[in-house]
Amino acid sequence: MNFEQTGKPGERDDQEQSGFEPQEGGPADLAESAAAQGQRIVYEDELRRACTKRALSAEEEKRWLAIRRTLPINRWINRSRTDKPGKGKLKDLKKEIERYLAIFTEEAGGQPFDLDMDRNYYRAAINLLSRYDPGDVPGEKDRHLLTGLMVMVDYKDAKLALQILESIV
């Protein structure tokens, strides 16, 4: 969701900020590309399993991830123009995201990071976990660091989601 300018004006550095390369041929191409870079593929569920105790229950985390997946900016912009009766649903969703933001704000208070909207916490978490072989459990220090990074991922996403909805509702 956050893109920095690193090339010509108007170009986005999608690869660096998202942590993933564009999927041309699907997961096989993605795996080959990661292998060529000497980095193993790390999936979000693996990142979350490697974290220590989080503030959300498994059910709440599942709901949060479902909400997060439905927030591409272009969909919300199009929806706001065409789905006038859906404004009530958006207001309810905004309230739900505000609740998650409050949880993540409190959770982030106990982490060794300050929120920086320009930092790619997700990429840092992937880099940290990719140092371990699949199935290996990171050490306690790395698990604590990984938990902090994933808290910041959720915190940043909740702030961005709220900004998107506030611009629509």
Question: If pLDDT is split at 50, 70 and 90, which confidence band does 141 have?
Answer: very high
The string of pLDDT tens digits covering residues 83-138 is: 555 677 888 888 999 999 999 999 999 888 899 999 999 999 999 999 988 888 89
Residue 30 included in any domain: no
Dihedral of CA atoms 131, 110, 164, 2 in degrees, nearest 10, equals: -30
Q: Which residue from 92, 103, 86, 91 is spatially nearest to 158, judged by alpha carbons?
A: 103
Residue 35 included in any domain: no
Count: domains in the chain: 1
Structural domain boundaries enclosing 121? 44-168
Residue 135 included in any domain: yes
Q: Could you say which DSSP state residue 85 is in? A: G
Q: Is the CB of residue 161 less than 8 Å from the CB of residue 94?
A: no
CA distances from 163 to 58, 72, 80 (A): 25, 12, 14
Dihedral sign (CA 51, 53, 59, 65)? negative
Confidence (pLDDT) at 166: 82
The string of pLDDT tens digits covering residues 34-84 is: 444 567 888 888 888 888 888 988 899 999 988 888 775 555 556 555 555
The string of pLDDT tens digits covering residues 152-169 is: 999 999 999 898 888 776
Confidence (pLDDT) at 85: 53
DSSP for 4-61, please give it: ---SSTT---HHHHHSS---SS-HHHHHHHHHHTT-----HHHHHHHS---SS-HHHH
Residue 14 included in any domain: no
Residue 15 included in any domain: no
- Identity of the amino acid at 66: A
Residue 78 included in any domain: yes
The string of pLDDT tens digits covering residues 12-36 is: 333 333 333 333 444 444 444 444 4
Q: Is the CB of residue 149 less than 8 Å from the CB of residue 121?
A: yes
Residue 57 included in any domain: yes
Residue 31 included in any domain: no
- Identity of the amino acid at 20: F
| Whether the predicted model's global pTM rises above the 0.85 cut | no
